[in-house]
Amino acid sequence: MRVGRPGPQQQELGIRIPRPLGHGPSRFIPEKETVQVGSEDAMMHALFADSFATLGRLDNVTLVMVFHPQYLESFLKTQHYLLQMDGPLPLHYRHYIGIMAAARHQCSYLVNLHVNDFLHVGGDPKWLNGLENAPQKLQNLGELNKMLAHRPWLITKEHIEQLLKTEENSWSLAELIHAVVLLTHYHSLASFTFGCGISPEIDCEGGHTFRPPSVSNYCLCDITNGYHGVDDIHASPAASIPTTESVCEVEALMEKMKQLQECRDEEEASQEEMATRFEREKRESMFVCSSEDEESAPTRDVSRHFEDTSYGYKDFSRHGMHVPTFRAQDYSWEDHGYSLVNRLYPDVGQLLDEKFHIAYNLTYNTMAMHKDVDTSMLRRAIWNYIHCMFGIRYDDYDYGEINQLLDRSFKVYIKTVVCTPEKTTKRMYDSFWRQFEHSEKGQTTLPPLPLLTTPSAPQVHVNLLLVEARMQAELLYALRAITRYMT
């Protein structure tokens, strides 16, 4: 059916024509910087086709992730396997667990997508009235869900035992691994959704309006809300030609990286000093908080999908509570978690491992106007800072490098997106790495992918690091508890 401009006959019939509420797939990224469907190259077109075949739609997450096609390909493959391929859990359970996980961060965008998918695969609509209406087996998962989302360091083998030995509502080990991977996947995807300001699609709740457009394309209510046009909504203090100050910031960061590398080559800190620097960084991370740090009560539509709505993120060692440091050398993804997942849920360990590696190693060897730059030191600092916030320590890493490479505004953004993503604002997004707004224009040596040359590519890249570092941290705590239960 084709719907044209509303005419007299349509008005008489009472037909209301929806219009998109936002402009483009992201509230943070100007629409002109995102790919326009129909103008993509062959590689992007193949990814879009895969996404459409898998999800039945081309969603806004895909349209933003395509800034980095290699990662998007791995992400889509993993998500497809988790949701649709053979596995321990029935299809409707998978989507319901996705709803539970996204709801913990009040991510109505993901909740609404999976409500539709849950119903599409035959899920019972009564379950959507609240978690108390779902089977007891899923209700029992609520405790693990909230700890994984907000305080994964509290998970013990006793929590695992309660799920595996609950008489008729017990989980098998394979089912639990599948559930844990789904929970961590959607907690992390909620971080990406908020971190990149993903907008709902026009056919989703919050993605459209029935207000008639005015001659100037916005109406009085837009003006009173401070919106004066498409360009105004994406105005950014740094969205102009790079200033001398921003160029100096880039060069200062590169100089720090060079000095740190020289220090590494000259002398290596003792293990005692490395441990001290980790504890100092972990302690300092507790005092990094956003200016928008205020409690926000979840709406009923979202909160009905989980219990204990007051339970949220608390810093690792606040108020004198001490939790032993998680030493990556004692339990790591590469040596322990990967094999456990692959044994109980075949192929998923391999898919996750590939996704982790792509995000961690993704680079175009550029930094603003500079080419052939080794950014591995910066990427490792971001990854290890996130794990440090979760209490995970790498014995071979000097945590003194983090304060040298990550400024406070960047730390605020990282901590907000990873720990309380629902509090992320456009101001935070605009404030970090402002010097990189034009960082990759015309400076990639890859096949011509226009999105890699846009100002927003670095910020999206950062969000991929945050998503995967967070997911791996959650997985490590859950898988370690499962391993301890098994042994």
Cβ atoms of residues 200 and 117 within 8 Å? no
Of 107, 204, 388, 419, which is the active-site residue? 107
Angle between helices 173-195 and 108-120 (to 10 degrees): 140
Residue 269, amino acid: A
Helices 69-84 and 173-195 sit at what angle, rounded to 10 degrees? 140
245 — alpha (psi -120 to 50), left (phi > 0) or beta?
alpha
Q: Is 248 a catalytic residue?
A: no
The DSSP bridge partners found for residue 229 are none
Rounded to an integer, what distance in angstroms lies between the CA atom of residue 24 and that of residue 399? 39
Phi, psi of 316 (to 5 degrees): -50, -45
- What is the 3 state secondary structure string of the chain? CCCCCCCHHHHHHCCCCCEECCCCCECCCCHHHCCCCCCCCHHHHHHHHHHHHHHCCCCHHHHHHCCCHHHHHHHHHHHHHHHHCCCCCCHHHHHHHHHHHHHHCCCHHHHHHHHHHHHHCCCCHHHHHCHHHCCHHHHCCHHHHHHHHHCHHHCCHHHHHHHHCCHHHCCCHHHHHHHHHHHHHHHHHHHHHHHCCECCCCCCCCCEECCCCCCCCCCHHHHHCCCCCHHHHCCCCCCCCCCHHHHHHHHHHHHHHHHHHHHHHHCCCCHHHHHHHHHHHHHHHCCCCCCCCCCCCCCHHHHCCCCCCCCCCCCCCHHHCCCCCEECCCCCHHHHHHHHHHHHCCCHHHHHHHHHHHHHHCCCCEECCEECCCCHHHHHHHHHHHHHHCCEECCCCCCHHHHHHCCHHHHHHHHHHHHCHHHCCHHHHHHCCHHHCCCCCCCCCCCCCHHHHCCCHHHHHHHHHHHHHHHHHHHHHHHHHHHHHHC
Tell me the residue type at 255.
E
Distance in angstroms (rounded) separating the CA atoms of residues 473 and 328:
10
Neighbouring C-beta atoms of residue 356, cutoff 10 Å: 20
CB atoms within 10 A of CB 417: 26
Active site residues: 107
